[in-house]
């Protein structure tokens, strides 16, 4: 028996949600632990951000492919992936595009380019490499194995909660919207209002974050090249919000969660996940699980690792400067002014 077969059998839960959720989340903690061990030994955070991007891609990819692997093992996809994704037989092609779009959305975010040439993970890796492999966030925990591991554990939890809406959608059987509750296949294939709103919000948030990151990257590069002597960035989107990149990130995860919840609350999805008998409770449950993603991201950005660290650092450096105080008073902290 191969390792893959062992994994599929060990996670062959009756509920389709658990069949996909458990191995996907286990993969997140497994990857982070695998990176944590050598990082703790070498007392380096050099691969921390890079491993985060890898974990996002791996978890979503696993949740997308696991149902196919199970079908193949059961002999339901004897003709391969093309047969599995076709609209014949089980009708997987009827709403496959939703799973593909949400999975691709996470993939695009995780591999977005900050400086127009390097994906975010590679960019952060090259940046920390140029800084002698040091990140000030880890100064107080780098030499403590237990505290250092908590950082990797926290990243695994971050990835798990962020990708939860996508994993939930990917766990649905491909035939969930075929002949369940009398819904016509053609109707199920059409975008819902929540699909369109979710896509629009995601695209807006992603675009906002990318532009803000690139403006900051260019500003830093120009400063190193002595093209300006500004101490802090106050133009572009940074004149609309003091943290436009964080606002964009919170927004894009909100869009993903909305699109996912709009599918999961429908009766075919509820039935396929074994929640059909719960009524309103089942719908509230999946809505809450989807909402946990943007809520968690926003909480961390506003209260833990994003805004507070940045604000405290700049307040200490420039708090006594009138131009800095003017910028803080006139520029919203998070939600931009237009």
Phi-psi region of 196 (alpha: psi -120 to 50; beta: other; left: phi over 0): alpha
Structure tokens at 253: 């995860």
Determine which of 123-137, 159-173, 276-290 has the lowest per-residue pLDDT on average: 123-137
The burial of 169, by beta-carbon neighbours within 10 Å (0-12 exposed, 13-18 middle, 19 or more buried), is given as: buried
- Interior CA angle at 98 toward 93 and 102, to 5°? 140
pLDDT of residue 140: 72
Summarised one tens digit per residue, pLDDT across range 314-330 is: 888 888 888 889 999 99
> Contact, 223 vs 230, CB < 8 A?
yes
pLDDT greater at residue 223 or residue 77: 223
Residue 179 has pLDDT above 50, yes or no: no
In terms of residues, how long is the chain? 338
Cβ-Cβ contacts under 8 Å for 208 (sequence gap 6 or more): 237, 244, 245, 247, 248, 251
Backbone torsions φ then ψ of 306, nearest 5 degrees: -100, -90
pLDDT greater at residue 177 or residue 304: 304
> Contact, 257 vs 291, CB < 8 A?
yes
In the chain, pLDDT over 70 holds for what percent of residues? 80
Distance CA 133, CA 221 (A): 19
pLDDT of residue 125: 44
> Contact, 154 vs 218, CB < 8 A?
no
Determine how many CB atoms are found less than 10 A away from the CB of residue 116: 9
Residue 15 has pLDDT above 90, yes or no: no
Determine which of 134-138, 143-147, 168-172, 295-299 has the lowest per-residue pLDDT on average: 134-138
End-to-end CA distance of the chain: 60
> Contact, 103 vs 109, CB < 8 A?
no
> Contact, 204 vs 296, CB < 8 A?
no
Structure tokens at 172: 């649905």
- 258-294: buried (b, 16+ CB within 10 Å) or exposed (e) per residue? bbbbbbbbbbbbbebbebeeeeeebbebbbebbbbbb
The burial of 189, by beta-carbon neighbours within 10 Å (0-12 exposed, 13-18 middle, 19 or more buried), is given as: middle
Average pLDDT over residues 208-226: 89
Three-class SS of the chain: CCHHHHHHHHCCCCCHHHHHHHHHHHHHHHHHHHHHHHHHHHCCCCCHHHHHHHHHHHHHHHHHHHHHHHHHHCCCCCCCHHHHHCCCCCCHHHCHHHHHHHHHHHHHHHCCECCCCCEHHHHHHHHHHHCCCCCHHHCCCCCCHHHHHHHHHHHHHHHHHHHHHHHHHHCCCCCCCCCCCCCCHHHHHCCCHHHHHHHHHHHHHHHHHHHHHHHHHHHHHHHHCCCCCCCCCCCHHHHCCCCHHHHHHHHHHHHHHHHHHHHHCCHHHHHHCCCHHHCHHHHHHHHHHHHHHHHHHHHHHHHHCCHHHHHHHHHHHHCCCHHHHHHHHHCCCCCCCC
Q: Tell me what the pLDDT averaged over the chain comes to.
A: 82
Distance CA 293, CA 18 (A): 18
């Amino acid at each position: 028996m191969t390792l893959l077969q062992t994994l599929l059998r060990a996670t062959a839960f009756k509920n389709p949600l658990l069949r996909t959720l458990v191995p996907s989340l286990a993969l997140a903690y497994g990857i982070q632990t695998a990176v944590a061990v050598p990082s703790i030994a070498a007392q380096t955070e050099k691969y921390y951000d890079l491993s985060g991007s890898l974990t996002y891609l791996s978890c979503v990819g696993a949740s997308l492919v696991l149902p196919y692997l199970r079908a193949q093992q059961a002999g339901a996809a004897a003709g391969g992936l093309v047969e599995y994704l076709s609209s014949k037989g089980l009708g997987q092609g009827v709403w496959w595009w939703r799973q593909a779009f949400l999975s691709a959305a996470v993939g695009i975010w995780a591999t977005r380019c900050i400086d127009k040439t390097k994906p975010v993970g590679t960019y952060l890796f090259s940046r920390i490499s140029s800084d002698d492999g040091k990140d000030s966030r880890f100064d107080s925990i780098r030499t403590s194995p237990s505290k250092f591991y908590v950082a990797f554990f926290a990243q695994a939890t971050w990835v798990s909660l962020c990708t939860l809406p996508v994993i939930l959608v990917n766990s649905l059987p491909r035939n969930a919207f075929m002949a369940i509750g009398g819904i016509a296949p053609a109707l199920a294939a059409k975008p819902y209002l929540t699909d369109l709103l979710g896509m629009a919000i995601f695209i807006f948030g992603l675009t906002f974050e990318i532009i803000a990151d690139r403006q900051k990257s260019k500003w830093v590069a120009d400063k190193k090249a002595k093209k300006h002597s500004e101490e802090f960035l106050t133009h572009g989107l940074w004149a609309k919000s003091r943290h436009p990149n964080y606002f964009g990130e919170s927004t894009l995860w909100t869009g993903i969660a909305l699109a996912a919840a709009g599918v999961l609350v429908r009766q075919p999805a509820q039935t396929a996940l074994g929640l059909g008998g719960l009524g309103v409770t089942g719908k509230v449950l999946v809505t809450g699980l989807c909402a946990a993603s943007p809520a968690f991201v926003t909480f961390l950005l506003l209260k833990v690792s994003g805004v507070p660290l940045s604000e405290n650092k700049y307040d200490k450096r420039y708090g006594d400067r009138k131009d800095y105080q003017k910028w803080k008073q006139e520029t919203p902290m998070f939600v931009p002014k237009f």
